[in-house]
Structure formats: structure tokens, C-alpha cells
Amino acid sequence: MAEILPPEPWTGRSDPEDGPNALRLHHRAGADGARVALLGFACDEGVRRNKGRPGAAEGPSALRAAMAGLAVPAGWPGFADLGDVGVTGSDLADGQAAMARRIAEGLVRHDRAVVLGGGHETAFASWGGLRRARAGRIGIVNIDAHLDIRNPGAEGASSGTPFAQIRAEDPEGFDYLVLGLSEEANTQALRERAAEWSVGVVADRALQSGAEPARAAVEALCARVDQVYLTLDLDVLPHAVMPAVSAPAGRGVPLHVVEALIDMVFDCAPTVPVADMVEFSPRLDPSGCAARSAALLGRRLLLGRGDSRQD
């Protein structure tokens, strides 16, 4: 069953003695004229079906708390928090459909929707909401260690199947690029399927020192689409930085390179109406350190093109 959960109040540190520009994300939640909407998908069912470690349903709330105290640039118009879609029980398809509707509704009033997952089953809802709300060819950029193009199993779709589901919905329009892929974490069968489907890939090994090895692929995709759906699976980060995911990376892509990849997509894309960040499991983060790293990336998705690099 899918349930619409209203947003909790945003709270955090305030420093009025430092003047009107001493602002943090919690000060800009619910701002008038916000161009960006924030939503959460509180769901563990996709991870459970994918035989992963649960806890991603708790991710949206924990990520908001970690992001609340981060500083924002002067003049940034802020964001609207539209709350969460919570999935209880095993009806993942109903949850994804409800999330897609919420995203589409948000895009009526806002330029961009930023979604906090949930497992990577969130992606099918994010893409569905964008497709419902905006016309034009969609290019998908997935910053991820995994292809997530598995065939659905006996229980149906999972966090490992969303891009196969997207291709099944729109085979002619499927245009998919994965940045940070781990060869060791994807079977030969999946890599062969990716080649058959003309999936673009830039491996994690190529991105250890910087984002430039991805530029040609990102620019090529952006040049042939009308809009980009950007999805970030936190398991692309090294295990030492991001242990709080279902499948931690043995190698991963460094945090500063992931930040640069996000900036590159925003700089190159015609528009990025939907971006999401998935797989964070706070129960696997007892120290809270992983949440702080994830919060930096969530802030970057909220601020978008240019704004995240003003400060």
C-alpha cells in the first residue's frame, strides 16, 4: 500500500548575528517562489526483492536531517518539501505509480523535482513522473556501480530492474548512460545485455582521478535528448565513505569525482527536470558519517546548475 506522508518541519542552527546571508537549507524550506521540489520515496521492498540489506525506507528522513544545516548561497530561491510516498507491504508497483504521480504533480509547479530514495526501484517512478509531466526525449544518466537492468524475478520488479523496466516501457526512446560502473559487480550476462541495448558505460577505474573521462559520453547523450533524468546511487562511492548502502563498493568513485560528475551533467544537459539519490540506509550508518557525505550530494542536486559552485 502507498501512503502520502506530509513533510516534517525543517529545523537547524541559526546565526542571526551574522546577518541575512547566514542561511542554511532549513531556512529555505518552503520558500515562496521555489523552483525546486523535494520528495521522498520511503520504500524497502525493491531492496528486499533484490536480496539486499534493508533500511532504505528510512533514508529520506535521515537525509533531510543531515542536509538541514548545510549552508546555501545568498539569493538562492529555496525549495518546497512535498513530503514522502511511503510503501508498506509488498505492493511495489502501487508505490511506484503513486510516486510517479507525485513527481508529475510537483513538476506542474516547479522546474525540477529532487527525489530521495528508497532503493533504486525509485528510478522507475522518477522516470515515469518525468515522462508524464514533460514532453520530449529523455536521456538517463545513472551515476552507479551497477547497471540495474536485471530481468524481474519471481516476485517481480526490484531495485535491480528499473532500467530494464524503463526500456520495456519505451524501447525506441531508451537512451541510458552509466558512470562509475564496477566490472566486478555486474555479471557477464548483464554486460552483454547492456551492449545489446547500446547502454553507454564509463567504468569506475577510469574515474579515480577526475570526471573528464566521462565528458565525451555525457556531452554526446545531452546533445541528442531534450531533457536528462539524473539518478545517483550512493553505492557508487567507496565503501570507506559510504558503507550505509545495500551493496557497498570495494573500489568506488571518489566523492569529489561524483560531485564533478553531477556538475558536468547539469552544465551539459538541456534541462534536468528530475534528479534522485537512492540506496541510503541510516541503520547501516551508526556514526552518521555516511549521512554527512550523502548530504553534500543531496545539496548539490537541490541547488543544481551553477548555484552549488558559488560558495
* Domain assignments of the chain as residue spans, ordered by start: 2-309
Q: Are strands 176-181 and 227-233 parallel, antiparallel or unpaired?
A: unpaired
Is 18 within any annotated ligand binding site? Answer: no
Element (DSSP H or E) covering residue 216: helix 215-223
pLDDT of residue 56: 97
158/53 Cα distance (integer angstroms)? 13
Is 239 within any annotated ligand binding site? Answer: no
pTM across the whole model? 0.97
30-39, 203-212, 292-301: which range is least confident on average?
Answer: 30-39
- Find cell 524503463 and name the residue: 166
pLDDT of residue 306: 54
- Flag whether pLDDT at 72 surpasses 90: yes
Q: Are 114 and 302 in contact (CB under 8 A)?
A: yes
234/249 Cα distance (integer angstroms)? 9
How many other CB atoms are there within 10 angstroms of residue 89's CB atom?
10
Q: What are phi and psi of 24, to 5 degrees?
A: -125, 170
Is 146 within any annotated ligand binding site? Answer: yes
152/248 Cα distance (integer angstroms)? 22
Q: What would the mean pLDDT of 267-276 be, rounded to a whole number?
A: 98
Q: What would the mean pLDDT of 21-28 be, rounded to a whole number?
A: 97
Q: What would the mean pLDDT of 233-259 be, rounded to a whole number?
A: 97
Is 81 within any annotated ligand binding site? Answer: no
- Taking only the tens place, the pLDDT of each residue in 114-136 is 999 999 999 999 999 999 999 99
Q: What would the mean pLDDT of 244-254 be, rounded to a whole number?
A: 96
Q: What would the mean pLDDT of 89-96 be, rounded to a whole number?
A: 95
Q: What would the mean pLDDT of 70-83 be, rounded to a whole number?
A: 96
In this prediction, residue 308 has a pLDDT band, given cuts at 50, 70 and 90, of very low
Is residue 208 packed enough to be buried (19+ CB in 10 Å), middle (13-18) or exposed (0-12)? middle
- Find cell 514533460 and name the residue: 134
Q: What would the mean pLDDT of 169-185 be, rounded to a whole number?
A: 98
Q: What percent of the chain has pLDDT over 90?
A: 96
- Strand, coil or helix: what is 175? coil
Q: Are 78 and 28 in contact (CB under 8 A)?
A: yes
Q: What are phi and psi of 151, to 5 degrees?
A: -75, 140
Element (DSSP H or E) covering residue 112: strand 112-117
Q: What would the mean pLDDT of 64-80 be, rounded to a whole number?
A: 96
193/207 Cα distance (integer angstroms)? 23
CATH class of domain segment(s) 2-309 = alpha beta
pLDDT of residue 39: 98
pLDDT of residue 1: 86
Is 148 within any annotated ligand binding site? Answer: yes
Contacts of 35 (CB under 8 A, 6+ apart): 77, 79, 110, 111, 112
In this prediction, residue 311 has a pLDDT band, given cuts at 50, 70 and 90, of very low
Question: How many residues are given for the chain?
Answer: 311
Element (DSSP H or E) covering residue 85: strand 79-87
Is 144 within any annotated ligand binding site? Answer: yes
The residue among 148, 261, 155 whose CA lies nearest residue 208 is 261
Query: Mean pLDDT score of the chain, rounded to an integer?
Result: 96
34/76 Cα distance (integer angstroms)? 9
Q: What would the mean pLDDT of 236-250 be, rounded to a whole number?
A: 97
